[in-house]
């Protein structure tokens, strides 16, 4: 098969969707795809047959949802552009604003539009169980959403929904803690609304996730406030559904450090490994011991920090050997770049019997991004 390549296992994706669909039906809620985490649109028809739509954070994402999933988007932009807003209206069933000022700016345009939408406001409960600041959208002073004091004079007229996002690869007990804070700070507004969007970060396809507790939690909240509940998990859709396959091009040695030089880049193809940071699991890696062989993994770019340390194997690694990074479908595929013009990994689908090349990249893909 081509290398480097992202390889999506369609059966594993379908298994995730079946689980999510069962939760969705049992809890009586709407679970939608967040394109910021997964936007491989060749699989949108499959995803759309299980989920209740998708959420967009840009005009491009809204267009992709309409064109390839065949439905209107739940749109939340950090800020809307004047010249784009008419298109956003036509492409959206729900529009959530990040501030009251932005809502008031476009309120008349919404009322005069032939494309009816339901309007929401994003709030910031200033509470989160997320430890990594980069992935915590609800820290005090965050630019994402409004704190409770912004609504002291009342809830904005014409706003049907409330949106919050506090989680990141979190469990149902983290959501339960968040909902307690939401009720404390915004409970006075909930009975007058039509819907609540509980954002993303619900890792309900993880083996450790308590889906029964989630169902009970959502059912009780929906019954209490008579609200339509929307969840937009990102990672959960494509969790553990595919790998990134790379090849060892060289083995560099300096100061007793052996670095496997790969035909991929961490900064270009796996940026979360450096931003978070975290170490992805590699097929065949072993625990450190006196008999295992230690290596760093080096990316192909000229960025000094384009490497991960340290990995151990039970035998020496050879040039030409394949290195398989696990769980590389969510966020990774949407955040890749063509930094340094490094060859971009192909996108492949595995259907249980055959591998299909869905997309390969060449020089023109790189060149046409520039002018």
DSSP-derived letter for residue 152 is T
Structural domain boundaries of the chain?
Answer: 10-238, 242-328+336-367
pLDDT band at 358 (very low <50, low <70, confident <90, very high): very high
pLDDT at 1 over 90: no
Percent of the chain with pLDDT over 70: 100
User: Average pLDDT of 227-246?
Assistant: 97
Statement: residue 195 has pLDDT above 90: yes
Whether the predicted pLDDT of 133 surpasses 90: no
pLDDT (tens digit, 9 = 90+) per residue, 246-269?
Answer: 999 999 999 999 999 999 999 999
pLDDT band (50, 70, 90) for residue 150: very high
What is the predicted pLDDT for the residue at 115? Answer: 86
Arithmetic mean of pLDDT, 290-313: 97
Asked if pLDDT for residue 140 goes beyond 90, the answer is: no
Residue 78 has pLDDT above 90, yes or no: yes
Residues in Cβ contact with 114 at an 8 Å cutoff, skipping those fewer than 6 apart: none
Specify whether domain 242-328+336-367 bears CATH 2.40.37.10.
Answer: yes
User: 11-21 as b/e, with b when 16 or more CB fall inside 10 Å?
Assistant: ebbbebbebbe
Inter-residue contact 203 to 16 (CB < 8 Å): no
Encode pLDDT of 159-193 as tens digits: 999 999 999 999 999 999 999 999 999 999 999 99
* CB proximity list for 358: less than 8 A, separation 6 or greater: 40, 42, 346, 347, 348, 349
Q: Is 222 exposed, middle or buried (0-12, 13-18, 19+ CB in 10 A)?
A: middle
Rg of the chain, C-alpha, whole Å: 22
* Rounded to 5°, angle at Cα 288 from 282 and 291: 110
Closest CA to 109 of 85, 74, 93: 85
Q: Residue 87 above 90 pLDDT?
A: yes
Total Cβ atoms within 10 A of residue 46: 13
Is pLDDT of 61 > 90? yes
Q: Quote the pLDDT of residue 244.
A: 98
Mean pLDDT of all residues in the chain? 96
Q: Residue 349's Cα: distance from chain center in Å?
A: 20
Helices (H) and strands (E) counted in the chain, each on its own, are 12, 17
Please determine, for residue 371, whether its predicted confidence score (pLDDT) is greater than 90.
Answer: no
Can you give the pLDDT at residue 131? 87
Q: Which whole number is the average pLDDT over 37-64?
A: 97
Measure the CA–CA gap between 357 and 12, rounded to whole angstroms.
18
Q: Give start and end residues of each alpha helix (H) in 59-148.
A: 59-68, 85-91, 100-112
Domains 10-238 and 242-328+336-367 in one fold: no
Buried b (16+ CB within 10 A) or exposed e, 177-213: ebbebbeebbeebbeebebbbbbbbbbbbbeebebee
Residue 357 has pLDDT above 90, yes or no: yes
The mean pLDDT of 79-94, rounded to a whole number, is 98
Q: How many CB atoms lie within 10 A of CB 165?
A: 23
Q: Would the pLDDT of 332 be above 90? A: yes
Residue 73 has pLDDT above 90, yes or no: yes
Pick the CATH number of 10-238 from 3.40.50.300, 3.40.718.10, 3.40.640.10, 3.20.20.10: 3.20.20.10
According to the model, what pLDDT value does residue 221 have? 98
Which phi and psi (to 5°) does residue 76 adopt? -130, 115
């Amino acid at each position: 098969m081509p290398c480097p390549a992202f390889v999506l296992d369609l059966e594993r994706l379908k298994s995730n969707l079946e689980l999510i669909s069962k939760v969705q039906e049992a809890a009586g809620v709407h679970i939608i795809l967040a394109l910021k985490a997964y936007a491989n649109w060749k699989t949108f028809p499959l995803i759309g047959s299980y989920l209740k739509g998708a959420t967009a954070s840009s005009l491009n994402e809204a267009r992709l949802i309409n064109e390839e999933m065949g439905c209107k988007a739940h749109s939340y932009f950090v800020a809307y552009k004047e010249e784009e807003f008419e298109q956003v209206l036509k492409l959206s069933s729900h529009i959530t604003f990040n501030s009251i000022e932005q809502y008031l700016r476009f309120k008349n345009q919404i009322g005069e539009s032939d494309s009816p939408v339901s309007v929401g406001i994003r709030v910031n409960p200033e509470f989160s169980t997320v430890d990594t600041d980069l992935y915590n959208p609800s820290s005090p002073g965050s630019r994402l959403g409004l704190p409770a004091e912004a609504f002291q004079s009342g809830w904005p007229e014409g706003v049907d929904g409330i949106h919050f996002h506090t989680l990141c690869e979190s469990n149902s007990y983290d959501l339960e803690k968040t909902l307690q804070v939401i009720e404390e700070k915004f409970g006075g507004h909930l009975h007058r609304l039509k819907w609540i969007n509980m954002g993303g970060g619900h890792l309900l396809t993880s083996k450790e996730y308590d889906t029964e507790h989630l169902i009970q939690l959502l059912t009780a909240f929906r019954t209490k406030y008579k609200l339509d509940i929307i969840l937009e998990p990102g990672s959960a859709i494509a969790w553990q559904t595919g790998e990134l396959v790379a090849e060892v091009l060289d083995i560099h040695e300096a100061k007793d450090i052996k670095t496997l030089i790969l035909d991929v880049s961490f900064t270009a193809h796996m940026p979360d490994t450096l931003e978070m940071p975290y170490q992805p699991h590699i097929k065949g890696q072993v625990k450190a011991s006196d008999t295992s062989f230690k290596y760093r993994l080096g990316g192909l770019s000229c960025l000094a920090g384009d490497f991960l340390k340290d990995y151990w194997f039970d035998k020496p690694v050879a040039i030409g050997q394949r290195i398989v990074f696990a769980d590389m479908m969510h966020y990774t595929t949407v955040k890749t770049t063509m930094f340094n013009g490094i060859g971009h990994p192909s996108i492949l689908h595995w259907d249980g019997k055959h591998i299909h090349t869905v997309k390969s990249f060449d020089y023109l893909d790189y060149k046409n991004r520039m002018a």
